[in-house]
Amino acid sequence: MAKLVIPAGYAPLLNLKQTELGIKNIKDFFQANLSSELRLRRVTAPLFVESGTGINDDLNGVERAVRFPIKDMDDKSAEIVHSLAKWKRLTLADYQIKRGFGIYTDMNAIRADEELDNLHSLYVDQWDWEMVIDDSDRNIEFLKQTVRRIYAAMLRTEYLVYELFSVIQPELPYDITFIHAEELLQKYPDRDPKGREDAITEAYGAVFVMGIGAPLSNGQPHDGRAPDYDDWSTPNSDGFLGLNGDLLIWNPVLKQAVEISSMGIRVNPETLERQLRLRGELDRLSLYFHKRLMNNELPLSIGGGIGQSRLCMHYLRKAHIGEIQASLWPHEMREEAKSKGMILI
């Protein structure tokens, strides 16, 4: 069910023209900084891929991809991407990118099964990025170092917004806090995962929660992860499982934690097979992507996605993602939002 939250006393700080100006400047500035920080070159990405290849992101394994037949390919089925987690790794191999360098792209997707609310839309826009590493980089310290570099680009972008619109004051802390999902569970044992995220992010402002996908001591994962891109089953230097995580920031308008990025060190052949076995999905090893990975035809990598509209929401102090991007919303949601001064594009 679609849900709308209208914060008490909410009034947009910027009009529509200022908002569009802010969106353009944020996107141009942030992607240039991200590219510089991680040494990424821009590439062109697909909107859809062929079904049955294993290239599309399966997210939590239950979301349905939007499919359509291709007339000039004997009605072969294509599907709109959910994200480009696996496609990027294929591209690193095909472009023969060297260690320490990578790619980024503007990813546009449709997630028809999304439950619509202030943060979730049918339309997804994010910067998808992937960087080549070697085996010595597959550790928690390298993951943290990469997160800090991304966060540095976020801080610089926040200052740009303040320079453009002085009515918007910087909110992000200078440093990002790291915590493993198991530590978070022990810290807030009486809360569900979302409640734990809200509590830790309100306390610190910006948090990276590590170890997403592996079962915790309560038998449940902090959140779902597909078994064939992030490595969530390898013990890290702190003794916990997982070389991935979610980057969360505190949204001062909605008063809640907002996930800006999901990222991680990617599976190698050993961890791919282990995670598929844990999920009972070894049949995926027959798919195109998985066969190439198991044959060591794909480089080791780290990568993730960074939500463009969510980042703009935060910087421009908007309460609804529909104030940033054009999408479809239930008529009742659009009308209620409009009556409260929240204009959905």
Task: Report, as residue numbers or ranges, the catalytic residues.
Answer: 57, 111, 126, 246, 259, 262
- In angstroms, the CA 43 to CA 45 distance is 6
Are 230 and 266 in contact, with CB atoms under 8 Å apart?
Answer: yes
Are 168 and 316 in contact, with CB atoms under 8 Å apart?
Answer: yes
Identify which of 121, 168, 25, 126 has the alpha carbon closest to the alpha carbon of residue 322: 121
Q: State the DSSP H helix or E strand holding residue 183, giving kind and residue range, or none if neither.
A: helix 181-187
In 177-205, which positions are buried (b, 16+ CB within 10 angstroms) versus exposed (e)?
ebbbbbbbbeebeeeebeebbbebbeebb
Identify which of 156, 152, 149, 174 has the alpha carbon closest to the alpha carbon of residue 38: 149
Q: How distant is the alpha carbon of residue 97 from its chain centre?
A: 23
- In angstroms, the CA 154 to CA 84 distance is 22
Q: State the DSSP H helix or E strand holding residue 82, giving kind and residue range, or none if neither.
A: none
- In angstroms, the CA 325 to CA 9 distance is 23
Query: Can you tell me which residue has the tokens 């995670």?
Result: 275
